[in-house]
Structures are given as structure tokens and as C-alpha cells.
Chains A and B, each alone.
Chain A
Amino acid sequence: MRVVNWKKILLIIALALVVVYPFLDKNDYRLYLANRALIHSILASGLVFLTGFAGQISLGQAGFYAIGAYTSAYITTRLGMPIILGIVCGILLSLGAGLILSIPSFKLKAFFLSLVTIAFGQIVYVLILNLQSITGGPYGFFGIPPMKVGQYYFDNKGYYYTFLIILVLVILIIYRIKNSYLGRSMFAINDDVIAAEVCGINSKQSKIFAFALSASLAGLAGSLYAHLAGFLSPEPFTFFESSNFVAMAVVGGLRNILGGTIGGVILTFLPEFLRFRGWENYYLIVTSLTVVLVVVFMPNGLGNIIFKLFRGKTHSHAIHKEITTLRKEKEGGTK
């Protein structure tokens, strides 16, 4: 008896769709949105790591996002350096900011820490508005060079594959960390700081690492965004965006390795799809309502539901197999 594992087939089809998507959809705007979704996924994966794995909270991720974006924009446009250097500098500067922001997390918990991170996001936002000579302030930052390989300037397709590869790498890195001693000690701290400390786990070090990683991923996302958009204005770096990033992580699933990706994709596309149907005034309400419903009814996020659907089958499949073999053995014994 051979059971066709339709879920495996579904998974392969889904992965194949992700890979060939730019060739299926001729709509350039949707492809641009997909690129934004990938960027958001990178950032939200960092938040999943910070919040779901390390138990820390940040409502100021847009601050790191902005630091990455403006750093890369400045270095490539004003200083004429190559893009890769801009991205690296964007990551490093956000990482530095993340290290500084991890200091209050030693003493502060949940609510108070979130206030500190909101303040951080606000500070960065105000700096963007006022450091006009560097950021262009409210007039924006123009002429950021697009990415290119040799003489080929990236179109949306090129960006799509670049970002997809980066996202996959990010997820693999997080997966590795999650299953290392560092990852396990983070879960331990998340469960019980005191018990973790008396087991010899350095909780400060773990918090610093979590903040640094999530900040660098936000910085990476920001610098990718700068080159994709070619133009920066202060709007995508408000507190609203920070909370949107948190919503992505929560909707996708805070303890799920793919949570950031699932949430990032859904919350990037959902409002835009709703906008098309003559709902201009309501689309944000519906999006917010979706977030509320997911949080209330699926506190573990959509990622977990999807995982369960796949796992549920394989699990019952395994039990079924076990029962069949047991039965066979029994039959063999009676013969």
C-alpha cells in the first residue's frame, strides 16, 4: 500500500511557486510588493528571534531599519562607495545601535523596555527629519543607486531573487542558532531567568546577542529597501511601521522559525489587496482587525497552524504505520 503524500506535494508546489513567481506574475507593482514583503520578512524574522526566542521586546525596529537605509544611501550616493559596502556599513551601524539599546534590557522588563524602544524609534525619526544635510529631512533622499551585477541593473526580478536568497540565508542562520547552545539558553532565560543563571547561563550576553542580531537584520532590511526604492523619505520609519513589524512577527508566529516570513508576506500584501477593491477608507481597519483576530484566536500565529497541518498528517501517518506493523507481527505470531 502506497499512500500519496499530498501534503508533501503541496509543499513542493508552494516552493516551486515561490521560485518561479516573478515569471508568472506580469504585474510589476505586485512584484515590487513581493520584494517589499521579502524585506519585511527579513526584518520580522529578526523580531521573531528577539521576542519569541530571547523574550525581549522592541517597538523601535523602524529605528534600526532607518539607520540601515540612510547609512547605505549616504555611503553609496554621497560618498560614491560600492553598494555592498553601503549595506555592510548599514548593518554595522544598526548593530552598534542594537548593542546600545540592549543595555536597558538588563534592568527593564516587558512594558518598560517597550517604552525605551519606542523612544529610540522616535529619536531616530526626529533625527531623520532634522539632520537635513545628511538625510534630506522631509524633502527626502534622492538618487540612491540601484543594485547591479556588471552592466545589468536589477529590475524587480533581479531584486526578487537577491532578496529571496538573503532571506533563506537569514532563516538558515537563525535556525542554526536556535538549535545551538546559545539558542537553548535563550529559551531557558525566557522561561526562567533565575534558574538559567544558576545553571551558569550568562543572561546579559544572550540579551546583547539577541538585540544585536535583530538590529542588524533590521539594518540589512533597511539598506536593501533603500536600493530597491531609490528614494527615502521619513514616512516608512515612523512608530506606526515599528508596530507593524511587531504585528508581522506576532501574526506569523513568535516561536516559529518561519513566523517572520509568513507574517511579513501576509501583512505586506493584505492591505494592498484590500486597497484595490474600492475600500480606500477601510483597508487599514480590516488589516488591524485581522491582526486582532489572529492574536485572539491563534496566539501562536498562522505559522504554527500551517506547521500543524503538515505535521498532523505525518504524525498520524506514523502512528498508522506503527499499528499496521504491530498487527502484522501479531498475525505472524499466530501463524
Chain B
Amino acid sequence: MSLLKIRNLAVSYNGIPALKKVSFEINKGEVVSVLGPNGAGKTTLLRAISGLVKCEKESEILYKGKNIVGLQAYKIARMGIAHVPEGRQVFPDLSVQENLEVASVLTSLNRRSGKIQKVYELFQELNSRKNQPAGTLSGGEQQMLAIGRALVSDSELIMVDEPSMGLAPVIISRIFKTLRQIVQEQNLTLLLVEQNAKLSLPLSDRIYVLSQGRIVLSGTVDEVKDSDLIRQMYFARE
């Protein structure tokens, strides 16, 4: 059964189309990657699902069979869709612990501390900085915290936008390793937006390739990996 089903999703900024009738679906427990060059509409796609941008009339986003187009962002978040925004938007003035607490509204009280503890186990760096303002963390730690915030929210669908942005290779591989671990252990559904196909392909079950607001290619990793389009886009130089 598909957890998220998107039909004819169209978004435009002041009349300039960013997404043109995009349709796709994600099944429960899957890891789906969206690839595409800059300006393809990847971030807009996530923002549309989260309710942060307005969709055009005919758009349909069905989450567990319910249309969520037009709902306020916080309501969508409370339905169980967590969004890790691009550029690691942690709350700089709140401590690490408070960042996690604020994000755990959905989680029932008695499970909250366990969930937070689990994040500290996954990212040991955060554990030692519990009471430090999040603004003083390094870029990698902030990304870990942003992902941790999505994990404590008890969401079924987690959307991660460009987790590798501006981070050192060592940290990036740490984060992707942890993402894989999370998906395997916690039976979550992951929608991953990432420019770096080399990182996201090994993690994913299926791939969608966005280009200029349209899905130009889709399929399982094996199908897509060998396509000429992907080769042109990403592996041409290798």
C-alpha cells in the first residue's frame, strides 16, 4: 500500500512553474531518492508535501489516503511527516536537548525520553553537547540534530533535503551510514533528496529523477543506474 501518493502536483512561484504535474508514490518502508540538478524542483517538492508552499488547484497529495493539500504545515507535521529542511535549520538559541524536546510533540509522554535517548545513541556527539545551544554546534552536528529532531517526532515518513550540503566527506558518510541504520532498524519510510547520486543510490530502493519540474526517469536503482540519462548527469566523468 502506498503511504504517500502524489498526483498532478504543480507549484509555481509568481507564475513561474517550479513543478509541472508531478506524479509518484512511495510505499511504506521504502527508501525513495529524488535526484536532479539544481533548480529541478527537488526542494520545492518537499516543501509542497510539507505544506510550506501553495500547490496549484489540481494537485493531490494523498498521505495514508487523505488529501493533505492546503493543510497548514504544523498539521501535516503532526500527521507524521517529518521534514529535515535544507541547510540544517536547527533552533540556534535552544539547547540540543530542547531542540529534541520541542520536536517530540507527537510522541506520547512516556516514550519521549526513550526516543530522545535513542538519538543520543545514534549520534554520540550530541550526547556530550546536550545543554549547549544548538547554534554553537558544528555543521555536521547540526545536521545530526536536524535528523534527530525528525526521529523523535515519531513520524512514519521522513523527508531529508540535501543532508550532504556543505559537510566534510567523513561526516557525510557517517550521516548516510546512520540513515541506513535508522531505516533498517525502525522500519521508517524515507524520501531522500540528494544531488550526490553516489551517496543516495546505495541506500535507495527506488529513484525518481527530476529535471525542470518534471519527472524524467523513474525505476528501481538497478534499472536507473544503467540508463544513459543518469550516466550523462552524474557518471559521465568516471
| A positions within 8 Å CB-CB of B | 181, 184-185, 187-188, 190-192, 194-204
A181's partner among B74, B77, B85, B101 (CB-CB below 8 A) is B101
What 3 pairs between A and B have smallest CB-CB spacing?
A200-B77, A195-B89, A197-B73
Distance between A194 CB and nearest chain B CB, rounded to angstroms: 6
Given contacts A199-B102, A199-B103, A199-B149, contact A184 B74 (CB under 8 A): no
B74 touches A192 (CB 8 A): no
Q: How far is the CA of A190 from the CA of B78 in the complex (A)?
A: 20
> A187-B94, A198-B52, A199-B149 are contacts. A181–B83 as well, Cβ < 8 Å?
no
Given contacts A197-B50, A200-B74, A203-B74, list 19 more A-B pairs with CB under 8 A: A181-B101, A185-B102, A187-B91, A187-B93, A187-B94, A188-B91, A188-B94, A188-B99, A191-B91, A194-B52, A195-B89, A197-B73, A198-B50, A198-B52, A198-B73, A199-B149, A200-B103, A200-B105, A204-B72
Contacts of A203 in B (CB 8 A): 74
Q: Which of A181, A197, A202 has the most CB of B within 10 A?
A: A197
Tell me which residues across on chain A come within 8 A of B99, comparing CB atoms. 188
A268 to B102, CA, bound (A): 38
Question: Chain A nearest CB: distance from B30 CB in Å?
Answer: 21
Can you list 7 A-B pairs with a CB-CB distance of less than 8 A? A181-B105, A187-B93, A195-B90, A197-B73, A200-B78, A200-B106, A202-B72
Instruction: Tell me which residues across on chain A come within 8 A of B51, comparing CB atoms.
Output: 197
Contact of B74 with A201 in the complex, beta carbons under 8 Å: yes
A185 vs chain B, min Cβ distance (A) = 6
Chain A positions within 8 Å of B89 at CB level? 192, 194-195
B59 interface residue, CB < 8 Å from A?
no
Measured CB to CB, the nearest residue on chain A to B81 is: A198
Q: Which A residue sits closest to B78, measured CB to CB?
A: A200
**Cα distance, A130 to B154, chains bound together (Å):** 56
Interface string of B63-86 (1 = CB under 8 A from A): 000000000111001100011010
Taking CB atoms, residues of chain A closer than 8 Å to B153 are: 199-200
A44, B176: Cα distance in complex, Å? 48
B98 contacts chain A at the CB level, 8 A cutoff? yes
Contact with A along B95-124 (1 / 0, CB 8 A): 000110111011000000000000000000
Q: Are B83 and A198 in contact (CB under 8 A)?
A: yes
Is the pair A197, B52 in contact by a Cβ cutoff of 8 Å? yes
B-side contacts of A197, CB under 8 Å = 50-52, 72-74, 77
- Check A201–B105 contact: CB distance below 8 A: yes
The number of inter-chain residue pairs (CB within 8 angstroms) is 70
A190 contacts across to B, CB distance below 8 A: 93
Measured in the bound complex, the distance between the Cα atoms of B213 and A270 in whole Å is 62
Chain B residues with Cβ under 8 A from A188's Cβ? 91, 94, 99, 102
- The distance in angstroms between the C-alpha atoms of A140 and B93, with both chains bound, is 46
Contact A192 B91 (CB under 8 A): yes
B24 vs chain A, min Cβ distance (A): 21
How far, in angstroms, from A201 to B92 measured CA to CA in the complex?
16
How far does the alpha carbon of A192 sit from the alpha carbon of B91 in the complex, in Å? 7
Q: Within the complex, what minimum Cβ distance (angstroms) separates B20 from chain A?
A: 24
Chain A: CB-nearest residue to B85: A195
Report the nearest A residue to B152, measured CB to CB.
A199
CA distance A201 to B106 in the complex (A): 10
**Nearest CB of B to A253, in Å:** 14
Q: Tell me the nearest residue of chain B to A190, going by C-beta.
A: B93
- Which residues from B are CB-within-8-Å of A198? 50, 52, 73-74, 77, 82-83, 85
Interfacial chain B residues near A196, Cβ < 8 Å: 91, 102
What is the bound-complex CA distance between A184 and B98, given in angstroms? 7
Min Cβ gap B43→A in Å is 12
Q: Which residue of B lies closest to A200 (CB)?
A: B77
Rounded to whole angstroms, the CA-CA distance of A201 and B76 in the bound complex is 10
B101: chain A residues within 8 A (beta carbon): 181, 184
In the bound assembly, the distance between CA atoms of A197 and B90 in angstroms comes to: 12
Complex CA distance for A218 and B87, rounded to whole angstroms = 39
| Chain B residues closer than 8 Å to A184, beta-carbon distance | 94, 98, 101-102
Q: Which of B78, B101, B102 has the most CB of A within 10 A?
A: B102
B residues 34-74 near A (Cβ < 8 Å) are 50-52, 72-74
Contacts A181-B105, A184-B101, A200-B103 given; indicate if A195 touches B74 (C-beta within 8 A).
Answer: no
A256 to chain B, nearest CB (A): 13
Given contacts A187-B93, A199-B153, A200-B153, contact A194 B85 (CB under 8 A): yes
